[in-house]
Structure 1
């Protein structure tokens, strides 16, 4: 093994750069010297640190933070941080008597860490006070929950107090974890009263929550801070602990994306169970070509096409995009229509970079019904839906965004770097036909000649032989090309076996088995 022949000091430099705990575990078994260098027991303790809003978890996390402050090398072991408490409403933090008994030296270490994380002046004392609490229940506070009028949803003072403590811990932990690559978190700010909506962006002093403050500061000037330089992926938890988790829930996902989009190593942002905010507040429109995020994964969700387009338009480079509906019920019974033409036009600027496209929303593209799939009819119905989309949208920024790419044109074959494609049969054929400015006439074609040469994997959802003669002709030609070896595709699924399109859950009481189960639990 070449690695074993390297000097120990070189091995010691390489090992911390292996982010996979599985790879490290396997490497540690290769020989005793490597096993000592890997120090797996310690690495496993720090590899993933969870900041839960429970007293025992808060104190466990605090102890890990203090270990890192006393031995900064331990911070290099932290690969992922999971923070699971979303602010429930806007309230200022009320400083209370310190509950931790630290030595003078430990307290100095903690205060120095607060300053290094960028909390200075009055912020320094407030964040330090949060860290010095060992329980989420502030002393002397009324424990009866505050409840919104005419609802069953309440927030007690312990929840609010605990949010600040957990955020302060997460913020300091991030600042002392230089190799952090993955962040799993809830929305770190509240929009209960439209705090971040409309007008100018909030100034730093107006940001209430420590984690939110740290992320905004870092993203605004990433070159000036030593942490978050290696952060690659972010997963946003949709926090529904006080609502009905059978339904899609809203968080300000676009605003959350703006907490990370300028970081130097950021690659992906993802979430599940998301729907758009129907409160009537203006949705933020992301600045075009401003984001370093290149991979977007949104699953089990129900979103308007303009929401997805805003994310796509913000990317400097788009390499992977995944969107799927299903797994939850839609509040009010409405569904989120997916406009195929608008979506294709929005991804056209990324023809030379897009590698993976996975769209599982054909159930919400009614114009792709097999019994009446005709080119002219599909175009007419998409035209009608697109006009409704534009006329129903009273937000000037979104209208301007839609107009900005209205003249884009392109077809599937022009996506020269696309390797993996997973779509419904109707969307596949329509994408292959292409979208043209002013609906220019298309030339007859069959699928094999309309696929990009780079394509290696194709998943076709919703295809059933005999349902549509036009689709059958395309699939027969595709199979013939694949069998003959003239196609560069290595794998095709969804032809011999039917892969159903995902659907929203109509009745969550009778179809509990169809409900999506969260990856991360939200604890009270």
Structure 2
């Protein structure tokens, strides 16, 4: 564990770093002062990892009073305070940041030989508040930052960081940051110690932090569930990102359709539902037609489409009356932020609902024949053709098209998830027709998989198998667990080579 003696390390202050990790707070404070003093060092940072979740650090002695004495860090402290005052976040936010700085820099040194847990720790929230403040300062200094990894904290971001994200995204900063940010990657933080269960995320709020940035190109989210969301509204066709990856998530079709509708121009989409366990059990409600209608907005631009949804496509979910999507954009204005909502309304692209009869969408994602830019397609067989009958030997309902007619005309790569020859006679008919005519119909098609040999999707790799079921059967967690292992964000600082 690093201590406050690392504050004076010349290695930390003078090295040109390519990647920084905000979680390593003890090395971070002197770096802030060094970057303010020598901006060229900050220009080398292109990757930032923000992980607010570890709470393995403890500090002895009592917490400083509400009005602590001024920092004794001299010039370094003055530089950081001056930079904070110049951010233009507003009087209340600036006052809060200066207060956190005073609390952080006046902590007492731990005694020699001290070990974590020996003495009472500092209040839990101080590290998170300072991490948010440090992240704001870094984000404002690292002008060439292109990739941002975020390990989502359990209770969301600190108000300081959230306010910065929002004001910066909507161009309300005197000197905006993140102007070269291209990719944002979101993973669960270390706080979520149950590896088999999804992390929890306010999906729409997260998008509201970044969707208007000028260089933003991709947002990637892995291993999260929607859970009792407060944010349920977003203005479609307002986002600058062109690539969305939502992998091993648990969200229903209405939220997924809304997320797909956010980009002005969508070029790449990858979605997989399932792989872990929802905290309340069960699977998301997924009607393929909702996803198809959202995708139709991007039929002229999308090039790569990877949809692994079959785990959640069932006859039970799809049956029933199909209704048009309600226009309820005004239902959540206050939570969204009235001023932000108005700004997005003023910049949105026109949304055109696809002129396709609802009944043709009800049980399938719909035909992709009009997706003329789509060259790379990976999709679950039942997402495209509709769910199987509960017995499995045939389709619950015949789709309003043949498989070969529903594929994009300029296809170059095609993969069917979850198809097993001989398992469903009606699906076999569709697939055989495609195999017999693919050369004539798709002259650019070079790669085909999932026909002769099964290409397993989430439904095959991670079948629903809940923690509660395993416990009831007496099965050991290590023996019975069959969930997606969430990747971890980078943890090491990386110097420029």
Does the CA-based 8 Å contact 1:323-1:361 persist in structure 2? yes
Does the CA-based 8 Å contact 2:248-2:272 persist in structure 1? yes
Cα deviation, 1:123-160, whole Å, max 9, x if unaligned, reads: 33432343455589799xxxxx9xxxxxxxxxx86331
Does the CA-based 8 Å contact 1:80-1:183 persist in structure 2? yes
Tell me how far apart the structure 1 counterparts of residues 321 and 457 of structure 2 sit (CA, whole Å): 21
The aligned counterpart of 1:158 is 123
Is the counterpart of residue 47 in structure 1 residue 18 in structure 2? yes
Cα deviation, 1:34-63, whole Å, max 9, x if unaligned, reads: xxxxxxx999852111011xxxx2121222
Cα deviation, 1:441-474, whole Å, max 9, x if unaligned, reads: 9876451x44223322111111111122332233
The aligned counterpart of 1:520 is 489
In structure 2, relative to structure 1, the CA distance for the partners of 1:232 and 1:282 (3 Å cut) is same
Cα deviation, 1:314-361, whole Å, max 9, x if unaligned, reads: 221222222112331123332112211111011111111111211112
Does the CA-based 8 Å contact 1:86-1:190 persist in structure 2? no
Does the CA-based 8 Å contact 1:83-1:170 persist in structure 2? yes
Tell me how far apart the structure 2 counterparts of residues 365 and 456 of structure 1 sit (CA, whole Å): 26
In structure 2, relative to structure 1, the CA distance for the partners of 1:222 and 1:382 (3 Å cut) is same
Is the counterpart of residue 275 in structure 1 residue 225 in structure 2? yes
Cα deviation, 1:387-412, whole Å, max 9, x if unaligned, reads: 6x989x999849xxxx9848556621
Offset of residue 491 of structure 1: 0.9
The aligned counterpart of 1:151 is none
The aligned counterpart of 1:123 is 93
Corresponding residue pairs, total = 416
* Residue aligned with 1:235, SS: strand
The aligned counterpart of 2:458 is 502
For residues 139-218 of structure 1, the aligned pairs below 5 Å read: 158-187=123-152, 190=155, 209-218=159-168
Offset of residue 424 of structure 1: 1.0
Choose 217-226 or 323-332, whichever is displaced more. Answer: 217-226
Offset of residue 284 of structure 1: 2.0
Does the CA-based 8 Å contact 1:95-1:130 persist in structure 2? no
Is the counterpart of residue 108 in structure 1 residue 78 in structure 2? yes
Cα deviation, 1:494-517, whole Å, max 9, x if unaligned, reads: 112212231454134243353423
In structure 2, relative to structure 1, the CA distance for the partners of 1:517 and 1:185 (3 Å cut) is closer
Is the counterpart of residue 453 in structure 1 residue 414 in structure 2? no
* Residue aligned with 2:209, SS: coil
In structure 2, relative to structure 1, the CA distance for the partners of 1:170 and 1:381 (3 Å cut) is closer
In the alignment, structure 1 segments of 5+ residues that lack a partner are 1-40, 140-144, 146-155, 192-206, 368-379, 432-440
Offset of residue 214 of structure 1: 1.2
The aligned counterpart of 1:7 is none
Q: Which one of the candidate residues 39, 53, 59 is aligned to 1:72?
A: 39
Q: Which one of the candidate residues 301, 304, 319 is aligned to 2:267?
A: 319
In the alignment, structure 2 segments of 5+ residues that lack a partner are 1-11, 56-63, 110-116, 333-350, 358-365, 388-397, 468-476, 492-497
The aligned counterpart of 2:298 is 350
Tell me how far apart the structure 1 counterparts of residues 220 and 321 of structure 2 sit (CA, whole Å): 28
Tell me how far apart the structure 2 counterparts of residues 332 and 348 of structure 1 sit (CA, whole Å): 32
Q: Which one of the candidate residues 208, 224, 233 is aligned to 1:285?
A: 233
The aligned counterpart of 1:199 is none
Cα deviation, 1:166-215, whole Å, max 9, x if unaligned, reads: 01111000101111111122457957xxxxxxxxxxxxxxx962211211
- Decide which structure has greater helix share: 1
The aligned counterpart of 1:58 is 25
Cα deviation, 1:80-106, whole Å, max 9, x if unaligned, reads: 111111699xxxx985636964233x3
The aligned counterpart of 1:261 is 211
In structure 2, relative to structure 1, the CA distance for the partners of 1:396 and 1:76 (3 Å cut) is closer
Tell me how far apart the structure 2 counterparts of residues 107 and 415 of structure 1 sit (CA, whole Å): 57
Offset of residue 385 of structure 1: 6.8
Q: Which one of the candidate residues 426, 431, 439 is aligned to 2:382?
A: 426
CA RMSD of aligned residues (A): 4.0
In structure 2, relative to structure 1, the CA distance for the partners of 1:79 and 1:136 (3 Å cut) is farther
The aligned counterpart of 2:49 is 82
Offset of residue 483 of structure 1: 5.9
In structure 2, relative to structure 1, the CA distance for the partners of 1:46 and 1:485 (3 Å cut) is same
Tell me how far apart the structure 1 counterparts of residues 69 and 437 of structure 2 sit (CA, whole Å): 72
In structure 2, relative to structure 1, the CA distance for the partners of 1:325 and 1:511 (3 Å cut) is farther
Offset of residue 252 of structure 1: 0.9
